[in-house]
Amino acid sequence: MPAPRNTLKAALRAGTPQYGIWLNTGSAVLAELAGQAGFDWCLIDGEHGPNSVTELVPQLQALQSTDTQAIYRIAVPEPWLIKQVLDMGCQTVMAPTVDTPEQAQALADMMRYPPLGKRGLGAAVARATGYGTQTDYLDNADDEVCLIVQIESREAVGNIEVIAAIDGVDGLFIGPADLAADMGYTRDPAHPDVQVVIHDALKRIAATGKSAGFLTFDPSTAQTFTDLGVTLMGVGGDVAIFGAALRAAKAGIA
Protein backbone atom coordinates (compact mmCIF):
# COMPACT_ATOMS: atom_id res chain seq x y z
CA MET A 1 0.00 0.00 0.00
CA PRO A 2 1.18 3.57 -0.67
CA ALA A 3 1.10 6.27 1.99
CA PRO A 4 -2.50 6.96 3.08
CA ARG A 5 -4.22 10.02 1.65
CA ASN A 6 -3.86 13.03 3.94
CA THR A 7 -7.45 14.25 3.91
CA LEU A 8 -6.55 17.26 6.06
CA LYS A 9 -3.99 18.46 3.52
CA ALA A 10 -6.44 17.91 0.68
CA ALA A 11 -9.17 19.88 2.46
CA LEU A 12 -6.82 22.76 3.26
CA ARG A 13 -5.67 22.94 -0.33
CA ALA A 14 -9.29 23.07 -1.42
CA GLY A 15 -9.92 25.94 1.00
CA THR A 16 -12.37 23.95 3.11
CA PRO A 17 -12.31 25.06 6.78
CA GLN A 18 -11.15 22.31 9.12
CA TYR A 19 -11.97 22.47 12.83
CA GLY A 20 -9.97 20.84 15.58
CA ILE A 21 -8.68 20.91 19.14
CA TRP A 22 -5.39 20.78 21.01
CA LEU A 23 -4.46 17.63 22.95
CA ASN A 24 -2.16 18.45 25.87
CA THR A 25 -2.90 15.75 28.43
CA GLY A 26 -1.05 12.89 26.73
CA SER A 27 -4.15 10.72 27.04
CA ALA A 28 -4.98 8.27 24.26
CA VAL A 29 -8.47 7.93 25.72
CA LEU A 30 -9.15 11.65 25.34
CA ALA A 31 -7.66 11.54 21.84
CA GLU A 32 -10.09 8.76 20.94
CA LEU A 33 -13.01 10.68 22.45
CA ALA A 34 -12.05 13.77 20.44
CA GLY A 35 -11.89 11.71 17.27
CA GLN A 36 -15.25 10.12 17.96
CA ALA A 37 -16.70 13.59 18.57
CA GLY A 38 -16.08 14.30 14.89
CA PHE A 39 -13.36 16.95 14.90
CA ASP A 40 -11.53 17.24 11.60
CA TRP A 41 -8.16 17.23 13.33
CA CYS A 42 -6.49 16.95 16.72
CA LEU A 43 -3.13 18.51 17.49
CA ILE A 44 -0.96 16.42 19.78
CA ASP A 45 1.18 19.03 21.49
CA GLY A 46 4.84 18.17 21.95
CA GLU A 47 5.75 21.76 22.81
CA HIS A 48 3.60 22.41 25.88
CA GLY A 49 2.31 18.94 26.72
CA PRO A 50 3.83 15.66 27.98
CA ASN A 51 3.85 14.29 24.44
CA SER A 52 7.18 12.89 23.34
CA VAL A 53 7.35 10.71 20.24
CA THR A 54 6.78 7.73 22.56
CA GLU A 55 3.51 9.23 23.84
CA LEU A 56 2.55 10.16 20.28
CA VAL A 57 2.11 6.58 19.07
CA PRO A 58 -0.83 5.46 21.29
CA GLN A 59 -2.67 8.68 20.46
CA LEU A 60 -2.15 8.06 16.75
CA GLN A 61 -3.48 4.54 17.25
CA ALA A 62 -6.53 5.93 19.06
CA LEU A 63 -7.28 8.44 16.29
CA GLN A 64 -6.74 5.81 13.60
CA SER A 65 -10.11 4.27 14.48
CA THR A 66 -11.81 7.59 13.62
CA ASP A 67 -11.91 9.95 10.64
CA THR A 68 -9.96 12.62 12.55
CA GLN A 69 -6.51 13.55 11.26
CA ALA A 70 -3.57 13.96 13.63
CA ILE A 71 -1.18 16.90 13.76
CA TYR A 72 1.92 16.76 15.93
CA ARG A 73 3.56 19.97 17.15
CA ILE A 74 7.26 19.49 17.68
CA ALA A 75 8.84 21.06 20.77
CA VAL A 76 11.16 23.44 18.92
CA PRO A 77 11.65 24.22 15.22
CA GLU A 78 14.50 21.75 14.82
CA PRO A 79 14.41 19.88 11.50
CA TRP A 80 15.77 16.63 12.98
CA LEU A 81 12.65 16.22 15.11
CA ILE A 82 10.50 15.85 12.01
CA LYS A 83 11.90 12.54 10.79
CA GLN A 84 10.73 10.65 13.88
CA VAL A 85 7.22 12.10 13.70
CA LEU A 86 6.80 11.15 10.04
CA ASP A 87 8.21 7.68 10.57
CA MET A 88 5.70 7.12 13.37
CA GLY A 89 2.94 7.69 10.81
CA CYS A 90 1.86 11.25 11.60
CA GLN A 91 1.69 12.98 8.23
CA THR A 92 1.08 16.57 9.41
CA VAL A 93 3.65 18.46 11.48
CA MET A 94 3.40 21.87 13.12
CA ALA A 95 6.57 23.76 13.99
CA PRO A 96 6.47 26.61 16.54
CA THR A 97 8.27 29.98 16.36
CA VAL A 98 9.33 29.97 12.73
CA ASP A 99 10.61 33.50 12.13
CA THR A 100 12.51 33.35 8.85
CA PRO A 101 12.28 31.74 5.41
CA GLU A 102 15.59 30.01 6.11
CA GLN A 103 14.07 28.25 9.12
CA ALA A 104 10.99 27.31 7.09
CA GLN A 105 13.13 25.94 4.27
CA ALA A 106 15.14 23.73 6.62
CA LEU A 107 11.92 22.29 8.07
CA ALA A 108 10.38 21.76 4.63
CA ASP A 109 13.50 19.93 3.49
CA MET A 110 13.08 17.36 6.26
CA MET A 111 9.48 16.62 5.27
CA ARG A 112 10.35 15.08 1.91
CA TYR A 113 12.74 12.47 0.59
CA PRO A 114 15.59 13.25 -1.80
CA PRO A 115 15.81 14.70 -4.37
CA LEU A 116 13.05 17.11 -3.21
CA GLY A 117 14.19 17.14 0.40
CA LYS A 118 16.46 15.61 3.02
CA ARG A 119 14.21 13.15 4.89
CA GLY A 120 16.18 10.12 5.98
CA LEU A 121 15.39 6.79 4.33
CA GLY A 122 14.29 4.76 7.34
CA ALA A 123 10.91 3.67 6.05
CA ALA A 124 11.79 -0.02 6.13
CA VAL A 125 11.55 -0.07 9.94
CA ALA A 126 8.97 2.70 10.44
CA ARG A 127 5.42 2.49 11.74
CA ALA A 128 4.41 4.63 8.75
CA THR A 129 5.05 1.65 6.46
CA GLY A 130 3.56 -1.00 8.72
CA TYR A 131 7.14 -1.70 9.82
CA GLY A 132 8.28 -2.39 6.31
CA THR A 133 5.24 -4.25 4.98
CA GLN A 134 4.10 -1.37 2.72
CA THR A 135 6.85 -1.51 0.13
CA ASP A 136 5.40 1.23 -2.12
CA TYR A 137 5.14 3.86 0.63
CA LEU A 138 7.90 5.92 -0.97
CA ASP A 139 5.95 6.24 -4.20
CA ASN A 140 3.67 8.96 -2.83
CA ALA A 141 4.88 9.78 0.70
CA ASP A 142 6.09 13.26 -0.31
CA ASP A 143 2.65 14.14 -1.67
CA GLU A 144 0.83 13.31 1.56
CA VAL A 145 2.92 15.13 4.17
CA CYS A 146 1.83 18.55 5.40
CA LEU A 147 3.91 21.24 7.15
CA ILE A 148 2.33 24.01 9.21
CA VAL A 149 4.66 26.71 10.57
CA GLN A 150 3.72 29.02 13.41
CA ILE A 151 3.98 32.80 13.14
CA GLU A 152 4.59 33.99 16.69
CA SER A 153 6.72 37.14 16.53
CA ARG A 154 6.85 40.54 14.87
CA GLU A 155 9.76 39.28 12.76
CA ALA A 156 7.69 36.34 11.55
CA VAL A 157 4.72 38.60 10.75
CA GLY A 158 7.02 40.74 8.62
CA ASN A 159 8.18 37.63 6.77
CA ILE A 160 4.76 36.09 6.06
CA GLU A 161 4.92 36.32 2.29
CA VAL A 162 8.47 34.97 1.95
CA ILE A 163 7.79 32.12 4.39
CA ALA A 164 4.59 31.23 2.54
CA ALA A 165 6.52 31.16 -0.73
CA ILE A 166 8.66 28.23 0.47
CA ASP A 167 7.79 25.08 -1.45
CA GLY A 168 6.73 22.49 1.12
CA VAL A 169 5.15 24.94 3.56
CA ASP A 170 1.43 24.18 3.47
CA GLY A 171 0.12 26.57 6.11
CA LEU A 172 0.99 29.39 8.48
CA PHE A 173 -0.61 29.36 11.93
CA ILE A 174 -0.75 32.48 14.08
CA GLY A 175 0.21 31.87 17.73
CA PRO A 176 -1.70 34.67 19.48
CA ALA A 177 -0.21 34.39 22.97
CA ASP A 178 3.44 34.39 21.91
CA LEU A 179 2.84 37.09 19.31
CA ALA A 180 1.19 39.26 21.95
CA ALA A 181 4.12 38.70 24.30
CA ASP A 182 6.60 39.65 21.58
CA MET A 183 4.61 42.85 21.06
CA GLY A 184 4.81 43.69 24.77
CA TYR A 185 1.34 42.47 25.78
CA THR A 186 2.25 39.27 27.63
CA ARG A 187 -0.92 39.26 29.73
CA ASP A 188 -3.23 40.76 27.13
CA PRO A 189 -3.42 38.93 23.79
CA ALA A 190 -6.87 40.49 23.32
CA HIS A 191 -5.37 44.00 23.26
CA PRO A 192 -6.64 45.97 20.24
CA ASP A 193 -3.09 46.52 18.94
CA VAL A 194 -2.50 42.76 18.93
CA GLN A 195 -5.83 42.03 17.31
CA VAL A 196 -5.12 44.47 14.48
CA VAL A 197 -1.84 42.68 13.74
CA ILE A 198 -3.49 39.23 13.95
CA HIS A 199 -6.36 40.14 11.64
CA ASP A 200 -4.02 41.69 9.10
CA ALA A 201 -1.65 38.72 9.27
CA LEU A 202 -4.44 36.21 8.69
CA LYS A 203 -5.65 38.12 5.65
CA ARG A 204 -2.10 38.26 4.26
CA ILE A 205 -1.62 34.53 4.76
CA ALA A 206 -4.89 33.75 3.01
CA ALA A 207 -3.85 36.01 0.13
CA THR A 208 -0.73 33.89 -0.47
CA GLY A 209 -2.87 30.84 -1.22
CA LYS A 210 -1.46 28.89 1.72
CA SER A 211 -3.66 27.78 4.61
CA ALA A 212 -4.14 30.29 7.43
CA GLY A 213 -4.46 28.87 10.95
CA PHE A 214 -5.62 30.22 14.29
CA LEU A 215 -6.65 28.99 17.74
CA THR A 216 -9.39 30.40 19.94
CA PHE A 217 -10.71 29.00 23.20
CA ASP A 218 -14.05 30.67 22.53
CA PRO A 219 -15.72 28.60 19.78
CA SER A 220 -18.38 31.29 19.32
CA THR A 221 -15.71 33.50 17.72
CA ALA A 222 -14.56 30.87 15.22
CA GLN A 223 -16.73 32.26 12.44
CA THR A 224 -15.06 35.65 12.78
CA PHE A 225 -11.73 34.07 11.96
CA THR A 226 -12.98 31.84 9.15
CA ASP A 227 -14.39 35.04 7.60
CA LEU A 228 -10.80 36.34 7.61
CA GLY A 229 -9.70 33.33 5.60
CA VAL A 230 -8.73 30.86 8.34
CA THR A 231 -9.06 27.26 7.17
CA LEU A 232 -7.18 25.50 10.01
CA MET A 233 -9.36 26.59 12.94
CA GLY A 234 -8.61 25.45 16.49
CA VAL A 235 -11.61 25.76 18.79
CA GLY A 236 -10.29 24.62 22.17
CA GLY A 237 -8.21 22.05 23.98
CA ASP A 238 -8.63 18.96 26.12
CA VAL A 239 -7.26 20.58 29.30
CA ALA A 240 -9.61 23.57 29.08
CA ILE A 241 -12.67 21.55 28.06
CA PHE A 242 -12.19 18.74 30.57
CA GLY A 243 -11.23 21.17 33.33
CA ALA A 244 -14.32 23.30 32.76
CA ALA A 245 -16.55 20.21 32.76
CA LEU A 246 -15.05 19.01 36.04
CA ARG A 247 -15.51 22.39 37.70
CA ALA A 248 -19.09 22.59 36.46
CA ALA A 249 -19.79 19.13 37.85
CA LYS A 250 -18.32 20.09 41.22
CA ALA A 251 -20.28 23.36 41.27
CA GLY A 252 -23.47 21.43 40.68
CA ILE A 253 -23.06 19.52 43.93
CA ALA A 254 -21.52 22.27 46.04
Just list the catalytic residues: 48
- Please give the Cα distance from 20 to 24 (Å, whole number): 13
CB neighbour burial string for 75-85, b if at least 16 within 10 angstroms, e if fewer: eebebebbbbb
Contact 146, 92 (CB under 8 A): yes
User: What phi-psi label fits residue 111: left (phi over 0), alpha (psi between -120 and 50 degrees) or beta?
Assistant: alpha
Residue (of 127, 163, 129) closest to 148 by Cα position: 163
Amino acid (1-letter code) at residue 49? G
- Please give the Cα distance from 175 to 31 (Å, whole number): 22
- Please give the Cα distance from 178 to 55 (Å, whole number): 25
Contact 227, 212 (CB under 8 A): no
